[in-house]
Structure 1
Amino acid sequence: MRVLVFLAKGFETIEFSGFIDVMGWAKTDFDCDVEVVTCGLNEKVISSFNIPVLVDKTIDEISVDEYDALAIPGGFEVFGFYEEAYNEKLLDLIRLFDTRKKWIATVCVGALPVGKSGVLKDRKATTYHLNGAVKQRVLQSFGAIIVNEPIVVDDNIITSYGPQTAPGVALLLLEKLTSRHEMSLVKEAMGF
């Protein structure tokens, strides 16, 4: 199994690290056949709070057929998240993953590019729910049916409503890619 983690400028590190740690524990401690590949529009992506991260591949090097899931952490508007999260190359990538019914897992406002791509039209989803639920209204404007719950699954898409959900989303994605048993082993070992 290969998970592609897309990092847009201004991504939140806590939302990114959930995927890295959960999949890393699964592979290292439990021999799960899961590999994480990081991706961005550029080789170096600056996160929220200005932490630079070098990605494994740029989006132009990605072939959807080589991956089983796409993970998208959310980010901060003030750090330029939507400048790259709404890039047409990412929106096309999302559409390809969805067309092939591959898992797409998002944390917080990572759901917004999925919504903007059009694949959430008439599907249940959630996103950041605080500050007057402004981001949920944006997601709704893309045609999503808003469910104000921490994690929402509709077919092959997992969305969530805040940074605190990152480990839960990553564990759920691990379960969907492997098994409930393997996910439970990792969850217990990590102390969740």
Structure 2
Amino acid sequence: MTDMFEDVEYTDPAKAYEDAGHELTIISTERKEIQGKQGEVSVQVDQTIDQVDPDDFDVLFIPGGFSPDILRADDRVVEFAKKMVYQEKPVFAICHGPQILITADVLKGRNITGFKSIQVDLKLAGANVFDEPVVVCGGNLVTSRQPDDLPVFIEESKKLLKQGVTTSV
């Protein structure tokens, strides 16, 4: 996650995951305080992308906003996401979050949704795109379109979580 994440797309799921006993680790390209797009939330980065290994995490959560578009320009972030998908670990992405997965080239044949403006991009990446509040694919990919979809996004992603799981953001 980096600056310009969609505030509520991070805060609501993060609170639900933490309330369920899960630990979140905020990962970014540099260690700093990052700011939400709406200016309502700031979050301290726990570790940089150079300090982490996908093997040390059970789940990847990608909030939307402009953050995913910024991050997908960084090969290290894309490779981290790609490894999480290839290891068949749960990936939760909302709104523009799937942009990182587009760049990672891991969506061919996958069922997915995302914000309206990236749905064509998802199709061009080979995904089967549905304009639904939440789409679960293969038991490890949960996607939603926008903040209005947060309740079902959280519900479906929590179904895949188990106590003691460390979630990277």
TM-score scaled by structure 1?
A: 0.76
Counterpart position of 1:35: 23
Task: Give the alignment partner of residue 102 of structure 1, picking from 74, 89, 92.
Answer: 89
Q: Return closer, same or farther for 1:113/1:21 CA change in 2, 3 Å cut-off.
A: same
Task: Give the alignment partner of residue 132 of structure 2, picking from 149, 156, 168.
Answer: 149
Is the helix fraction higher in 1 or 2? 1
Distance 1:69 1:57 in 2: 16
* Greater C-alpha radius of gyration: 1
Measured against aligned partners, the alpha-carbon deviations of 1:44-85 in whole angstroms (never above 9, x if no partner) come to 223213454211111111111211100000113xxx652223
Gaps of 5+ in 1: 1-6, 28-33, 180-192
The count of residues paired between Structure 1 and Structure 2 equals 160
What aligned pairs does 1:40-55 form with structure 2 within 5 A after superposition? 40-44=28-32, 45-50=34-39, 51-55=41-45
Task: Give the alignment partner of residue 171 of structure 1, picking from 131, 135, 155.
Answer: 155
Distance 2:118 2:135 in 1: 15
Letter in 1 for 2:122: L
Distance 2:13 2:114 in 1: 17
3-state DSSP of counterpart to 2:65: coil
Counterpart position of 1:8: 2
Gaps of 5+ in 2: 164-169
Distance 2:102 2:31 in 1: 25
Structure 1 ranges of 4+ moved more than 6 A: none
Identity of aligned residues (%): 26
Letter in 2 for 1:151: V
- Greater RCO (Cα-Cα under 8 Å, separation 6 or more): 2
